[in-house]
A and B are shown apart, each in its own frame.
Chain A
Amino acid sequence: MAAIRTKPDPQIYTFPGFGTEKYPNLMLRGAGDLDNWNLKVYEQKHEGYVALKAALKMEPVAVVEEMKTSGIRGRGGAGFPCGLKWSFMPKDTADRKFTRYLVCNGDEGEPGTFKDRAILEYNPHQLIEGMIIGGWAMQCKLGFVYIRGEFLWLIEKLEAALQQARDAGYLGKNIMGTGWDYDILVYRGAGAYICGEETALLNSLEGRRGEPRVKPPFPAAKGAFGQPTTVNNVETLAAVPPILRMGGAEYAKLGTPKNTGTRIFGVSGHVKRPGLFELPLGTPMDFVVNELAGGSSTGKKIKAIIPGGSSAPMFDEKDFDCPLDFDTVKARGSMAGSGGLICMDEDTCMVQATLRLIRFYAHESCGQCTPCREGCNWMEMVLYRIEHGEGRMEDLDLLAGLTPRIGLRTLCPLGDAACGPMDSALQKFRHEFEHHITHKTCYAQGSRLLTAVGAH
């Protein structure tokens, strides 16, 4: 076993008022303290494994009910109610006809999102506890944590934390005298953004190419290794222990009625204090960007914000007051996604930014569905042409005509995700595209987002 990496990272995890009743600290407890991952610290300082002991005294169904009461919605991107997802698993817990699995999605690859990394670095035991409770609630036989391959040092840390949990009797055979056997295995990915999609992740977990599957059957019926499976994001599972500690009804009071609880927002781009901020859902975006992240770092006004990781359509100035919860952001034409806020100032050329984003999707498309595989590449080529001063006015109609032919026509949402930034940039910053075509140069001079030394 390699030594645990103890390199501090420069992220900001806190702000004045964090940890008070208004801004409860449920997920980022002890973030920034590199000793915090130890079982001892977790048990002594952060009420570690208290929720598990309580959960094991409850009926599994009661735990699922508690999750439903809490109203927590999946933190991975789609915002699907977690309790409901858990209740889709087959209920024959008595005769154990099926082998059930719980999978934790730690394939954090969405540009602008870096929250799971903080949980794995500082609070791995909270995730482990959440996974044991989830395993109990659905009577699973095994839990898997799928982590992206680049996080090698976090995998080593998680393995060490799992061993601590096994030694303490929280994992293994006959856990806490309940007669229930359960263990958690770590699986290392190998660099594919698409494996963040749940069925692609399951394929990858089985040792195959990470290509999304046709749904139905949904994973709750036929998931990993052909057995009923639930896939949850790291942040969702890490929220389970606090929910059980404080009670579902109490947790539901945080945030807004239909978007309960806290979530970790990652602010990146042109801001003074980029970092991770855990806030109740429904916190206004301008408060997060201007008050907590300190506003623009360049002295120029912020022109556009992507509110939920790179897949979310951009917001321009008139939507900066949007409360960050799943429903409101969706009503305003974007999506809350994975909670990564990317801020761009006035000097950012939107053609370059869009090209950079689309290049990512063209590169990461798994190649299974034609609309996404071809469409993303065509969008990239057309944008490249515009960026390099060879664009034509009809290219804009071509781009606008491409997106409805990709969106909702693929097995997984990667194609839709590519359309989000494309459509919104074209709608909100069309003048920059037109300027590029007519003047053959950027409207907003002063940014250079693309390299001159050859792409992938």
Chain B
Amino acid sequence: MNHPLPPETSNEPMAPGQRLPESDRKEFSPEALAEIQALMVKFPDKLAATLPALHIAQREFGFVSLSAMKAVAKAIGIPEGHVFGVATFYTMYQKAPVGKFHLQVCTNISCALRGAAQLLEKVCEKTGVKPGQGPSADGMWSVEEVECLAGCGSGPCVQVNHDVYDEFVDEKKLIEVMEACKRGDYRPWAH
């Protein structure tokens, strides 16, 4: 598992239990807090709210930073270490900022047989970013190479944020999708 460590706002690396300076702390909005509290009683155990609460944190703060993890732990009332462990285990929690449109290209076997590797290179060329290297300079794009997105028959598959999930993405279709993003047809990341 090659999970990146959460980026810190200060230059010093931090342990999960360490206190953040006041300016770096994150607070949930009252609506998000109410949502998390509803989750805590929805499931038989409040610990079960960890995963959905992290999804909410990602939506609220754009990515799951260490301070976002701390906010989740505080909201549910569970140890920070537990939230840190969970957040770093799952790949869908972005531990570093991503662009306004996060393009996730599946390069697993079924998609690869239909040209996913070439597609990923095209995506990188068109957006000017490399997978896992953070957003482009204008903050528009970020690219990630992901494992199977369960669209094997009609791949190669690209997922744009959480909304769209485009099949048969060849070069023509890719340009169409990117134009649609620029026009604002797709919801930007974390909205």
Which residues of chain A have a CB within 8 Å of any CB of chain B?
5, 7, 9-12, 99, 108-114, 116-117, 142, 148-153, 185, 187-193, 204-210, 224-225, 266-270, 274-276, 306, 310, 340, 342, 344, 348, 353, 356-357, 360, 363-367, 447-456
Contacts and interface: CB of A to CB of B under 8 A. Distances in A.
B108 to A, nearest CB: 4
B110 A191 contact: no
Nearest to B89: A209
Given A209-B85, A209-B86, A310-B109, A112 B145 contact: no
B113 A153 contact: no
Contact of A153 (B114, B116, B163): B163
A451 B117 contact: yes
A204 B113 contact: no
20 contacts: A99-B44, A111-B152, A149-B90, A150-B165, A152-B163, A153-B165, A207-B47, A207-B49, A209-B85, A210-B89, A266-B153, A268-B113, A268-B153, A269-B110, A269-B114, A342-B109, A363-B1, A450-B117, A451-B121, A453-B121
B97 interface: no
A190 to B, nearest CB: 4
B168 interface: yes
B90 A191 contact: yes
B10 to A, nearest CB: 27
A114 B1 contact: no
Nearest to B83: A207
Interface string B148-168: 111111110001001111011
Contacts of A7: 164
Nearest to B76: A207
Given A188-B55, A190-B55, A276 B42 contact: no
Given A111-B152, A114-B153, A365-B1, A189 B109 contact: no
Interface in B78-95: 82, 85-86, 89-93
A225 B43 CA distance: 10
Given A356-B109, A360-B147, A363-B2, A453 B47 contact: no
Contacts of A366: 1, 89
A191 B91 contact: yes
Contacts of B142: none
A189 B50 CA distance: 11
Interface stretch (B19-27, B124-132, B174-182): B124-132
B54 interface: yes
A206 B47 contact: yes
B153 A11 contact: yes
A225 B49 contact: no
B157 to A, nearest CB: 10
B109 A357 contact: yes
Contacts of B130: 453-454
* Nearest 6 CB-CB pairings of A with B: A191-B92, A190-B90, A207-B50, A274-B153, A268-B152, A449-B112
B51 A204 contact: yes
A317 B120 CA distance: 31
B113 A344 contact: yes
Contacts of A448: 117-118
A353 B148 CA distance: 14
B110 A268 contact: yes
A111 B148 contact: yes
B52 interface: yes
B51 A268 contact: no
Interface of B: 1-2, 42-45, 47-52, 54-55, 82, 85-86, 89-93, 107-110, 112-114, 116-118, 120-121, 124, 130-132, 145-155, 159, 162-165, 167-168
A225 B109 contact: no
A109 B150 contact: yes
Contacts of B110: 111-112, 268-269, 340, 342
A225 B44 contact: yes
Nearest to B187: A2
Contacts of B148: 109-113, 193, 310, 360
Contact of B152 (A187, A225, A340): A340
Contact of B48 (A9, A192, A205): A205
Contact of B154 (A9, A142, A360): A9
A353 B90 contact: no
Given A208-B86, A210-B90, A310-B109, 12 more contacts: A9-B154, A10-B168, A111-B148, A117-B150, A142-B44, A150-B150, A187-B52, A188-B52, A190-B90, A206-B47, A365-B1, A367-B1
A109 to B, nearest CB: 6
A9 B167 contact: yes
Contacts of B86: 207-209
A452 B121 contact: yes
B1 A150 contact: no
Contacts of B132: 454, 456
A108 B147 contact: no
Residue picked from B50, B85, B147, most chain A C-beta under 10 Å: B147
Contact of A270 (B42, B50, B113): B113
A206 B109 contact: no
Given A191-B91, A363-B1, A148 B109 contact: no
Contacts of A342: 109-110, 113, 152
Residue picked from A108, A270, A356, most chain B C-beta under 10 Å: A356
Residue picked from A116, A190, A210, A310, most chain B C-beta under 10 Å: A190
Contacts of B91: 190-192
Nearest to A9: B167
